[in-house]
Amino acid sequence: MSEEQKRLLESKLWGIANLLRGKISADDYRDYILGFIFYKYLSERQYLYANGLLETEEVKDYLDLKDPDLLEAIKDESLQSLGYFLKPEELFASITAKGNASTETDSNYILEDLKAVLNHIEQSTMGTDSEEDFNDLFSDIDLNSNKIGRTVKARNEVVVQILNHLNKIDFRLQEVESDVMGDAYEYLIGKFAAGAGKTAGEFYTPQQVSKVLAKIVTTGKDKLKSAYDPTCGSGSLLLRVAKEAQVSEFYGQELTRTTYNLARMNMILHGVHYRQFNIRHEDTLENPQHLEERFEAIVANPPFSAHWKGDDNPLYNSDERFSQYGRLAPKTKADFAFMQHMLYQLAENGIMASVFPHGVLFRGGAEGTIRKYMIKEMNVLDAVIGLPANIFYGTSIPTCVVVLKKCREQDDNVVFIDASGEGNYTKVGNQNELRDQDVEKIVETYRNRTTIDKYSYVASLGEIAENDYNLNIPRYVDTFEEEEPVDLDTTADEIQQLDAALKSNEAVLKSFCEELGIKAPF
Protein backbone atom coordinates (compact mmCIF):
# COMPACT_ATOMS: atom_id res chain seq x y z
CA MET A 1 0.00 0.00 0.00
CA SER A 2 1.39 3.39 -1.00
CA GLU A 3 1.65 6.28 1.48
CA GLU A 4 -1.10 8.09 -0.43
CA GLN A 5 -3.43 5.09 -0.17
CA LYS A 6 -2.58 4.78 3.52
CA ARG A 7 -3.41 8.44 4.18
CA LEU A 8 -6.70 8.08 2.28
CA LEU A 9 -7.65 5.03 4.34
CA GLU A 10 -6.79 6.79 7.59
CA SER A 11 -8.84 9.80 6.53
CA LYS A 12 -11.85 7.58 5.84
CA LEU A 13 -11.52 5.84 9.18
CA TRP A 14 -11.18 9.03 11.17
CA GLY A 15 -14.14 10.40 9.24
CA ILE A 16 -16.30 7.67 10.76
CA ALA A 17 -15.55 9.11 14.19
CA ASN A 18 -17.29 12.32 13.07
CA LEU A 19 -20.57 10.40 13.07
CA LEU A 20 -20.39 10.20 16.84
CA ARG A 21 -18.09 13.06 17.83
CA GLY A 22 -20.02 15.63 19.84
CA LYS A 23 -22.76 13.15 20.68
CA ILE A 24 -20.79 10.99 23.11
CA SER A 25 -17.33 11.06 24.72
CA ALA A 26 -14.22 9.96 22.85
CA ASP A 27 -13.81 6.99 25.20
CA ASP A 28 -17.31 5.77 24.31
CA TYR A 29 -17.23 6.17 20.54
CA ARG A 30 -13.78 4.60 20.52
CA ASP A 31 -15.31 1.40 21.88
CA TYR A 32 -18.08 1.31 19.25
CA ILE A 33 -15.91 2.07 16.24
CA LEU A 34 -13.03 -0.22 17.19
CA GLY A 35 -15.48 -2.95 18.12
CA PHE A 36 -17.27 -2.76 14.76
CA ILE A 37 -13.95 -2.77 12.89
CA PHE A 38 -13.05 -5.93 14.77
CA TYR A 39 -16.40 -7.49 13.87
CA LYS A 40 -15.76 -6.64 10.19
CA TYR A 41 -12.32 -8.25 10.43
CA LEU A 42 -13.68 -11.47 11.96
CA SER A 43 -16.42 -11.60 9.32
CA GLU A 44 -14.11 -11.11 6.36
CA ARG A 45 -11.62 -13.62 7.74
CA GLN A 46 -14.42 -16.17 8.20
CA TYR A 47 -15.70 -15.49 4.68
CA LEU A 48 -12.29 -15.96 3.04
CA TYR A 49 -11.53 -19.06 5.09
CA ALA A 50 -14.90 -20.66 4.33
CA ASN A 51 -14.58 -19.91 0.60
CA GLY A 52 -11.22 -21.64 0.63
CA LEU A 53 -12.86 -24.76 2.05
CA LEU A 54 -15.65 -24.56 -0.57
CA GLU A 55 -13.33 -24.53 -3.58
CA THR A 56 -14.13 -28.20 -4.39
CA GLU A 57 -17.84 -27.93 -3.56
CA GLU A 58 -20.77 -27.05 -5.81
CA VAL A 59 -21.53 -23.87 -3.87
CA LYS A 60 -18.41 -21.69 -3.98
CA ASP A 61 -19.65 -18.61 -2.12
CA TYR A 62 -20.10 -18.96 1.64
CA LEU A 63 -22.90 -16.38 1.63
CA ASP A 64 -24.98 -18.74 -0.55
CA LEU A 65 -24.32 -21.89 1.49
CA LYS A 66 -27.39 -23.61 2.97
CA ASP A 67 -26.23 -27.23 3.37
CA PRO A 68 -26.32 -27.95 7.16
CA ASP A 69 -23.68 -30.67 6.94
CA LEU A 70 -21.21 -28.42 5.12
CA LEU A 71 -21.95 -25.61 7.56
CA GLU A 72 -21.18 -27.91 10.48
CA ALA A 73 -17.94 -29.05 8.85
CA ILE A 74 -16.89 -25.42 8.24
CA LYS A 75 -17.76 -24.62 11.85
CA ASP A 76 -15.47 -27.37 13.15
CA GLU A 77 -12.61 -26.30 10.88
CA SER A 78 -13.11 -22.62 11.75
CA LEU A 79 -13.04 -23.19 15.49
CA GLN A 80 -9.81 -25.14 15.11
CA SER A 81 -8.06 -22.70 12.78
CA LEU A 82 -9.65 -19.31 13.46
CA GLY A 83 -10.80 -19.86 17.03
CA TYR A 84 -14.41 -18.71 16.36
CA PHE A 85 -17.29 -19.25 13.90
CA LEU A 86 -19.82 -17.05 12.06
CA LYS A 87 -22.75 -18.31 10.00
CA PRO A 88 -23.31 -16.73 6.55
CA GLU A 89 -26.24 -14.69 7.83
CA GLU A 90 -24.09 -13.39 10.71
CA LEU A 91 -21.37 -11.90 8.53
CA PHE A 92 -20.76 -8.15 8.51
CA ALA A 93 -21.95 -7.88 4.90
CA SER A 94 -25.23 -9.68 5.72
CA ILE A 95 -26.05 -7.50 8.72
CA THR A 96 -25.12 -4.32 6.82
CA ALA A 97 -27.35 -5.34 3.90
CA LYS A 98 -30.29 -5.80 6.27
CA GLY A 99 -29.63 -2.33 7.70
CA ASN A 100 -30.03 -0.94 4.18
CA ALA A 101 -33.29 -2.77 3.47
CA SER A 102 -36.18 -0.84 1.96
CA THR A 103 -38.45 0.06 4.87
CA GLU A 104 -41.46 -0.11 2.57
CA THR A 105 -41.10 -3.88 2.20
CA ASP A 106 -38.65 -5.05 4.90
CA SER A 107 -37.43 -3.97 8.29
CA ASN A 108 -34.02 -2.32 8.49
CA TYR A 109 -33.83 -2.78 12.26
CA ILE A 110 -30.56 -4.59 13.04
CA LEU A 111 -29.73 -3.84 16.69
CA GLU A 112 -31.10 -7.11 18.06
CA ASP A 113 -29.55 -9.13 15.22
CA LEU A 114 -26.19 -7.45 15.74
CA LYS A 115 -26.32 -8.01 19.47
CA ALA A 116 -27.09 -11.70 18.89
CA VAL A 117 -24.21 -12.02 16.41
CA LEU A 118 -21.67 -10.47 18.78
CA ASN A 119 -22.87 -12.76 21.55
CA HIS A 120 -22.70 -15.78 19.25
CA ILE A 121 -19.07 -15.07 18.33
CA GLU A 122 -18.19 -15.44 22.01
CA GLN A 123 -20.54 -18.41 22.53
CA SER A 124 -19.10 -20.28 19.53
CA THR A 125 -15.76 -20.54 21.36
CA MET A 126 -17.13 -22.05 24.58
CA GLY A 127 -15.34 -25.26 25.46
CA THR A 128 -12.56 -24.61 22.92
CA ASP A 129 -8.93 -23.51 23.33
CA SER A 130 -9.83 -19.97 22.26
CA GLU A 131 -12.63 -19.46 24.81
CA GLU A 132 -10.58 -17.24 27.13
CA ASP A 133 -9.39 -15.06 24.25
CA PHE A 134 -12.95 -14.29 23.10
CA ASN A 135 -14.78 -14.22 26.44
CA ASP A 136 -16.71 -10.91 26.91
CA LEU A 137 -14.76 -9.42 24.01
CA PHE A 138 -17.67 -7.21 22.91
CA SER A 139 -18.87 -6.32 26.41
CA ASP A 140 -18.15 -2.61 25.88
CA ILE A 141 -20.54 -2.30 22.92
CA ASP A 142 -23.92 -1.41 24.43
CA LEU A 143 -26.40 -1.19 21.57
CA ASN A 144 -29.19 -0.13 23.96
CA SER A 145 -27.27 2.84 25.32
CA ASN A 146 -28.91 6.27 25.15
CA LYS A 147 -25.43 7.64 24.44
CA ILE A 148 -25.74 6.74 20.76
CA GLY A 149 -29.36 7.80 20.42
CA ARG A 150 -32.33 8.74 22.56
CA THR A 151 -34.69 6.40 20.68
CA VAL A 152 -34.34 2.90 19.26
CA LYS A 153 -34.76 4.31 15.75
CA ALA A 154 -32.00 6.89 16.31
CA ARG A 155 -29.62 4.25 17.70
CA ASN A 156 -30.33 1.95 14.76
CA GLU A 157 -29.64 4.75 12.27
CA VAL A 158 -26.28 5.60 13.86
CA VAL A 159 -25.15 1.96 13.89
CA VAL A 160 -26.26 1.45 10.27
CA GLN A 161 -24.31 4.58 9.28
CA ILE A 162 -21.12 3.29 10.91
CA LEU A 163 -21.45 -0.16 9.33
CA ASN A 164 -22.09 1.38 5.91
CA HIS A 165 -18.98 3.53 6.13
CA LEU A 166 -16.87 0.55 7.20
CA ASN A 167 -18.39 -1.63 4.49
CA LYS A 168 -16.99 0.71 1.82
CA ILE A 169 -13.41 0.24 3.06
CA ASP A 170 -11.29 -2.56 1.60
CA PHE A 171 -8.84 -3.79 4.24
CA ARG A 172 -7.23 -6.22 1.77
CA LEU A 173 -7.47 -9.29 3.98
CA GLN A 174 -6.96 -11.50 0.95
CA GLU A 175 -3.39 -10.21 0.60
CA VAL A 176 -1.33 -12.58 2.74
CA GLU A 177 1.51 -10.16 3.44
CA SER A 178 -0.77 -7.19 4.04
CA ASP A 179 -1.50 -5.84 7.51
CA VAL A 180 -3.71 -2.99 6.37
CA MET A 181 -6.42 -3.59 8.94
CA GLY A 182 -3.97 -4.06 11.79
CA ASP A 183 -2.18 -0.83 10.90
CA ALA A 184 -5.49 0.98 10.50
CA TYR A 185 -6.59 -0.21 13.93
CA GLU A 186 -3.30 0.95 15.44
CA TYR A 187 -3.75 4.34 13.73
CA LEU A 188 -7.21 4.78 15.26
CA ILE A 189 -6.02 3.74 18.72
CA GLY A 190 -3.33 6.40 18.49
CA LYS A 191 -5.81 9.05 17.32
CA PHE A 192 -8.22 8.24 20.12
CA ALA A 193 -5.36 8.35 22.61
CA ALA A 194 -4.33 11.81 21.40
CA GLY A 195 -7.80 13.12 22.23
CA ALA A 196 -8.42 11.17 25.40
CA GLY A 197 -6.54 13.46 27.79
CA LYS A 198 -5.33 12.03 31.08
CA THR A 199 -6.76 8.55 30.41
CA ALA A 200 -4.73 8.01 27.24
CA GLY A 201 -1.73 6.53 28.99
CA GLU A 202 -3.91 3.67 30.16
CA PHE A 203 -4.05 2.12 26.72
CA TYR A 204 -1.43 3.58 24.39
CA THR A 205 2.30 4.31 24.28
CA PRO A 206 3.38 6.74 21.53
CA GLN A 207 4.67 4.79 18.55
CA GLN A 208 8.19 6.24 18.52
CA VAL A 209 8.68 5.47 22.22
CA SER A 210 7.42 1.94 21.55
CA LYS A 211 9.99 1.69 18.79
CA VAL A 212 12.83 2.65 21.17
CA LEU A 213 11.78 0.00 23.69
CA ALA A 214 11.26 -2.67 21.02
CA LYS A 215 14.62 -2.07 19.36
CA ILE A 216 16.43 -2.17 22.70
CA VAL A 217 14.94 -5.48 23.88
CA THR A 218 15.63 -7.13 20.51
CA THR A 219 19.30 -6.07 20.46
CA GLY A 220 21.34 -8.85 18.88
CA LYS A 221 18.29 -11.05 18.20
CA ASP A 222 15.99 -11.67 15.26
CA LYS A 223 13.96 -14.35 17.07
CA LEU A 224 12.44 -14.30 20.55
CA LYS A 225 10.85 -17.15 22.43
CA SER A 226 8.60 -14.77 24.36
CA ALA A 227 7.71 -11.11 24.90
CA TYR A 228 5.87 -9.80 27.97
CA ASP A 229 4.17 -6.58 29.04
CA PRO A 230 2.78 -6.56 32.61
CA THR A 231 0.70 -3.42 31.94
CA CYS A 232 -0.07 -4.11 28.30
CA GLY A 233 -2.81 -1.55 27.57
CA SER A 234 -3.92 -2.02 23.96
CA GLY A 235 -1.01 -4.40 23.29
CA SER A 236 0.75 -1.91 21.01
CA LEU A 237 4.12 -2.35 22.73
CA LEU A 238 4.08 -6.12 22.29
CA LEU A 239 3.10 -5.79 18.65
CA ARG A 240 5.91 -3.29 18.12
CA VAL A 241 8.41 -5.88 19.40
CA ALA A 242 7.08 -8.25 16.73
CA LYS A 243 8.10 -5.73 14.06
CA GLU A 244 11.71 -5.95 15.22
CA ALA A 245 11.98 -9.73 15.72
CA GLN A 246 10.00 -12.93 15.23
CA VAL A 247 8.15 -13.59 18.50
CA SER A 248 6.87 -17.09 19.27
CA GLU A 249 4.62 -16.18 22.22
CA PHE A 250 3.11 -12.97 23.59
CA TYR A 251 2.16 -12.52 27.24
CA GLY A 252 0.45 -9.58 28.87
CA GLN A 253 -1.68 -8.46 31.77
CA GLU A 254 -4.07 -5.51 31.99
CA LEU A 255 -6.16 -4.17 34.86
CA THR A 256 -8.78 -2.13 32.96
CA ARG A 257 -11.48 -4.31 31.42
CA THR A 258 -12.08 -2.13 28.35
CA THR A 259 -8.38 -1.93 27.60
CA TYR A 260 -7.99 -5.67 28.12
CA ASN A 261 -10.62 -6.21 25.42
CA LEU A 262 -8.77 -3.77 23.19
CA ALA A 263 -5.51 -5.68 23.60
CA ARG A 264 -7.05 -9.01 22.63
CA MET A 265 -8.74 -7.47 19.58
CA ASN A 266 -5.48 -5.79 18.60
CA MET A 267 -3.58 -9.08 18.77
CA ILE A 268 -6.09 -10.90 16.58
CA LEU A 269 -6.32 -8.00 14.11
CA HIS A 270 -2.54 -8.13 13.64
CA GLY A 271 -2.72 -11.79 12.71
CA VAL A 272 -1.45 -13.20 16.01
CA HIS A 273 -3.02 -16.65 16.36
CA TYR A 274 -5.06 -17.17 19.50
CA ARG A 275 -2.64 -19.92 20.59
CA GLN A 276 0.28 -17.46 20.37
CA PHE A 277 -0.92 -14.91 22.91
CA ASN A 278 -1.89 -15.08 26.55
CA ILE A 279 -3.41 -11.81 27.72
CA ARG A 280 -4.94 -11.81 31.22
CA HIS A 281 -7.24 -9.41 33.04
CA GLU A 282 -6.00 -8.80 36.59
CA ASP A 283 -3.93 -6.51 38.81
CA THR A 284 -0.32 -7.40 38.00
CA LEU A 285 1.13 -6.55 41.42
CA GLU A 286 -1.73 -8.05 43.43
CA ASN A 287 -2.49 -11.09 41.25
CA PRO A 288 0.29 -11.80 38.74
CA GLN A 289 -0.96 -14.28 36.15
CA HIS A 290 2.32 -15.47 34.60
CA LEU A 291 4.58 -15.72 37.63
CA GLU A 292 5.99 -19.11 36.68
CA GLU A 293 7.16 -17.82 33.29
CA ARG A 294 10.48 -16.17 32.40
CA PHE A 295 10.56 -13.87 29.38
CA GLU A 296 13.23 -13.07 26.84
CA ALA A 297 11.93 -9.54 26.21
CA ILE A 298 9.96 -7.35 28.60
CA VAL A 299 8.56 -3.95 27.61
CA ALA A 300 6.24 -1.76 29.62
CA ASN A 301 4.82 1.68 30.28
CA PRO A 302 3.39 1.23 33.81
CA PRO A 303 1.09 3.88 35.31
CA PHE A 304 3.36 6.58 36.73
CA SER A 305 3.63 6.61 40.53
CA ALA A 306 0.49 4.52 41.00
CA HIS A 307 -0.76 3.56 44.43
CA TRP A 308 -0.46 -0.03 45.66
CA LYS A 309 -0.86 -1.82 49.00
CA GLY A 310 2.85 -1.97 49.77
CA ASP A 311 3.55 -2.81 53.41
CA ASP A 312 -0.20 -2.85 54.13
CA ASN A 313 -0.07 -6.32 52.60
CA PRO A 314 2.16 -8.46 54.85
CA LEU A 315 2.42 -11.11 52.12
CA TYR A 316 4.67 -8.83 50.08
CA ASN A 317 7.46 -9.19 52.65
CA SER A 318 7.78 -12.86 51.70
CA ASP A 319 6.94 -12.39 48.01
CA GLU A 320 9.99 -13.47 45.99
CA ARG A 321 9.56 -10.48 43.70
CA PHE A 322 10.20 -8.00 46.52
CA SER A 323 11.58 -9.75 49.60
CA GLN A 324 15.32 -9.66 48.90
CA TYR A 325 15.59 -5.86 48.65
CA GLY A 326 15.02 -5.12 52.33
CA ARG A 327 12.31 -2.50 51.68
CA LEU A 328 9.03 -2.32 49.81
CA ALA A 329 8.25 0.46 47.35
CA PRO A 330 6.18 3.29 48.90
CA LYS A 331 2.41 2.84 48.89
CA THR A 332 1.98 6.05 46.87
CA LYS A 333 4.65 5.19 44.29
CA ALA A 334 4.54 1.68 42.81
CA ASP A 335 7.19 2.42 40.16
CA PHE A 336 9.85 0.22 41.76
CA ALA A 337 7.30 -2.50 42.52
CA PHE A 338 6.64 -2.78 38.78
CA MET A 339 10.37 -2.71 38.06
CA GLN A 340 11.02 -5.50 40.59
CA HIS A 341 8.16 -7.56 39.19
CA MET A 342 9.57 -7.30 35.67
CA LEU A 343 13.10 -8.12 36.79
CA TYR A 344 11.79 -11.22 38.60
CA GLN A 345 10.12 -12.44 35.39
CA LEU A 346 13.09 -11.65 33.13
CA ALA A 347 14.94 -14.62 31.62
CA GLU A 348 18.68 -14.90 32.19
CA ASN A 349 19.29 -14.00 28.54
CA GLY A 350 16.57 -11.35 28.42
CA ILE A 351 16.39 -7.55 28.27
CA MET A 352 13.83 -5.37 30.03
CA ALA A 353 13.10 -1.81 28.87
CA SER A 354 10.40 0.18 30.61
CA VAL A 355 9.27 3.80 30.90
CA PHE A 356 9.24 5.46 34.33
CA PRO A 357 8.99 8.97 35.79
CA HIS A 358 12.38 10.56 36.53
CA GLY A 359 11.79 10.16 40.26
CA VAL A 360 12.93 6.52 40.15
CA LEU A 361 16.43 7.78 39.36
CA PHE A 362 16.99 9.85 42.49
CA ARG A 363 14.25 9.50 45.11
CA GLY A 364 15.55 8.34 48.48
CA GLY A 365 14.03 6.28 51.29
CA ALA A 366 12.83 2.80 50.33
CA GLU A 367 13.31 3.57 46.63
CA GLY A 368 16.93 4.55 47.22
CA THR A 369 17.50 1.28 49.08
CA ILE A 370 15.98 -0.79 46.26
CA ARG A 371 17.88 1.12 43.59
CA LYS A 372 21.21 0.65 45.38
CA TYR A 373 20.57 -3.09 45.80
CA MET A 374 19.78 -3.49 42.11
CA ILE A 375 23.01 -1.77 41.10
CA LYS A 376 25.49 -2.82 43.81
CA GLU A 377 24.34 -6.32 44.71
CA MET A 378 22.59 -7.50 41.54
CA ASN A 379 24.40 -5.40 38.90
CA VAL A 380 21.39 -5.47 36.55
CA LEU A 381 21.21 -1.83 35.50
CA ASP A 382 22.34 -1.57 31.88
CA ALA A 383 21.17 1.86 30.74
CA VAL A 384 19.22 4.99 31.66
CA ILE A 385 17.67 7.06 28.84
CA GLY A 386 16.11 10.47 29.40
CA LEU A 387 13.18 11.27 27.08
CA PRO A 388 11.79 14.70 26.17
CA ALA A 389 9.06 16.21 28.33
CA ASN A 390 5.48 16.28 27.02
CA ILE A 391 5.96 13.16 24.91
CA PHE A 392 3.18 11.07 26.47
CA TYR A 393 -0.53 11.72 26.06
CA GLY A 394 -2.12 13.04 29.22
CA THR A 395 1.04 14.13 31.04
CA SER A 396 3.78 16.64 30.38
CA ILE A 397 6.30 15.32 32.92
CA PRO A 398 9.73 14.22 31.69
CA THR A 399 10.21 10.47 31.63
CA CYS A 400 13.04 7.98 31.28
CA VAL A 401 13.64 4.46 30.02
CA VAL A 402 15.34 2.06 32.43
CA VAL A 403 17.05 -0.96 30.85
CA LEU A 404 17.79 -4.01 32.99
CA LYS A 405 19.67 -7.23 32.15
CA LYS A 406 20.54 -10.15 34.41
CA CYS A 407 23.59 -11.20 32.39
CA ARG A 408 25.29 -8.04 31.16
CA GLU A 409 28.07 -8.22 28.59
CA GLN A 410 29.51 -4.91 29.84
CA ASP A 411 29.03 -5.47 33.55
CA ASP A 412 31.36 -2.74 34.81
CA ASN A 413 29.50 0.30 33.43
CA VAL A 414 26.11 1.86 32.73
CA VAL A 415 25.13 3.93 29.68
CA PHE A 416 23.41 7.25 30.36
CA ILE A 417 21.65 8.97 27.43
CA ASP A 418 20.03 12.40 27.55
CA ALA A 419 17.67 12.57 24.56
CA SER A 420 15.61 15.37 26.09
CA GLY A 421 17.52 18.34 24.69
CA GLU A 422 16.57 20.53 21.75
CA GLY A 423 17.46 18.97 18.43
CA ASN A 424 16.64 15.47 19.69
CA TYR A 425 12.88 15.72 18.99
CA THR A 426 10.32 17.75 17.08
CA LYS A 427 7.17 19.53 18.21
CA VAL A 428 3.85 18.42 16.70
CA GLY A 429 0.90 20.45 17.95
CA ASN A 430 0.98 20.40 21.73
CA GLN A 431 3.11 17.25 21.88
CA ASN A 432 6.82 16.58 21.49
CA GLU A 433 7.70 13.63 19.26
CA LEU A 434 10.80 11.61 18.53
CA ARG A 435 11.68 11.40 14.85
CA ASP A 436 13.10 8.29 13.20
CA GLN A 437 16.61 9.76 13.37
CA ASP A 438 16.13 10.48 17.08
CA VAL A 439 15.08 6.88 17.72
CA GLU A 440 18.05 5.53 15.76
CA LYS A 441 20.48 7.78 17.64
CA ILE A 442 19.18 6.54 21.00
CA VAL A 443 19.30 2.88 19.98
CA GLU A 444 22.73 3.05 18.33
CA THR A 445 24.20 4.91 21.29
CA TYR A 446 22.84 2.25 23.63
CA ARG A 447 24.07 -0.64 21.49
CA ASN A 448 27.52 0.82 20.89
CA ARG A 449 27.84 2.15 24.45
CA THR A 450 29.45 5.37 23.30
CA THR A 451 30.09 8.66 25.07
CA ILE A 452 28.88 11.63 22.99
CA ASP A 453 29.43 15.19 24.16
CA LYS A 454 26.28 16.64 25.75
CA TYR A 455 24.28 13.51 24.80
CA SER A 456 25.60 10.34 26.43
CA TYR A 457 28.11 9.06 28.95
CA VAL A 458 29.35 5.58 29.88
CA ALA A 459 29.71 5.67 33.66
CA SER A 460 31.66 3.14 35.69
CA LEU A 461 30.00 1.46 38.65
CA GLY A 462 32.55 3.27 40.81
CA GLU A 463 31.28 6.66 39.61
CA ILE A 464 27.71 5.64 40.36
CA ALA A 465 28.76 4.52 43.86
CA GLU A 466 30.48 7.88 44.39
CA ASN A 467 27.16 9.53 43.56
CA ASP A 468 25.53 7.38 46.26
CA TYR A 469 23.63 5.46 43.55
CA ASN A 470 21.78 8.57 42.45
CA LEU A 471 21.07 8.11 38.73
CA ASN A 472 19.91 11.63 37.93
CA ILE A 473 21.09 12.00 34.33
CA PRO A 474 22.66 15.52 34.63
CA ARG A 475 25.14 14.03 37.13
CA TYR A 476 26.59 11.99 34.27
CA VAL A 477 25.74 13.77 31.01
CA ASP A 478 26.90 17.39 31.07
CA THR A 479 24.60 19.42 28.82
CA PHE A 480 25.76 22.80 30.13
CA GLU A 481 26.30 25.30 27.33
CA GLU A 482 29.10 27.80 28.04
CA GLU A 483 28.11 31.39 27.42
CA GLU A 484 30.30 33.61 25.32
CA PRO A 485 32.70 35.70 27.46
CA VAL A 486 31.46 39.21 28.16
CA ASP A 487 33.73 42.14 27.15
CA LEU A 488 33.31 44.41 30.18
CA ASP A 489 34.86 47.47 28.54
CA THR A 490 32.48 47.23 25.58
CA THR A 491 29.53 46.68 27.92
CA ALA A 492 30.51 49.75 29.99
CA ASP A 493 30.65 51.90 26.82
CA GLU A 494 27.21 50.63 25.78
CA ILE A 495 25.77 51.49 29.20
CA GLN A 496 27.18 55.03 28.98
CA GLN A 497 25.69 55.48 25.50
CA LEU A 498 22.30 54.26 26.72
CA ASP A 499 22.47 56.59 29.74
CA ALA A 500 23.24 59.57 27.49
CA ALA A 501 20.35 58.66 25.16
CA LEU A 502 18.01 58.34 28.16
CA LYS A 503 18.93 61.82 29.46
CA SER A 504 18.42 63.31 26.00
CA ASN A 505 14.97 61.70 25.71
CA GLU A 506 14.03 62.96 29.20
CA ALA A 507 14.96 66.53 28.22
CA VAL A 508 12.77 66.38 25.10
CA LEU A 509 9.85 64.88 27.05
CA LYS A 510 10.23 67.59 29.75
CA SER A 511 10.03 70.37 27.15
CA PHE A 512 6.81 68.80 25.72
CA CYS A 513 5.29 68.73 29.22
CA GLU A 514 6.17 72.43 29.77
CA GLU A 515 4.49 73.38 26.48
CA LEU A 516 1.35 71.47 27.54
CA GLY A 517 1.46 73.01 30.99
CA ILE A 518 1.62 69.66 32.80
CA LYS A 519 4.06 68.30 35.34
CA ALA A 520 6.86 66.09 33.98
CA PRO A 521 6.68 62.46 35.30
CA PHE A 522 10.26 62.58 36.60
Higher pLDDT, 399 or 504: 399
Q: Please return the burial class of 456, using the count of CB atoms within 10 Å of its CB with bins 0-12, 13-18 and 19+.
A: buried
Q: What is the pLDDT of residue 60?
A: 95
CB 209 within 8 A of CB 387: yes
Which helix (H) or strand (E) is 355 found in, with range?
strand 346-357
**pTM above 0.95?**
no
Whether 310 shows a pLDDT value over 80: the answer reads yes
Q: What is the mean pLDDT of residues 125-137?
A: 92
Q: How far is residue 399's CA from residue 381's CA, in Å, rounded to a whole number?
A: 17
Confidence (pLDDT) at 198: 47
pLDDT tens profile 14-48: 777 776 666 666 666 778 888 998 999 999 999 99
Confidence of residue 11 (pLDDT cuts 50, 70, 90): confident
Q: How far is CA 467 from CA 370, 377, 411, 472, in A?
A: 15, 16, 18, 9
Residue percentage of the chain with pLDDT more than 70: 92
Averaged pLDDT, 272-300? 96
At residue 289, what are phi and psi to the nearest 5 degrees?
-100, -10
- Strand-pairing partners, residue 431, are 428
| Longest CA pairwise span in the chain (Å) | 110
pLDDT digits (tens, 9 = 90+) for 311-359: 999 999 999 999 999 999 999 999 999 999 999 999 999 999 999 999 9
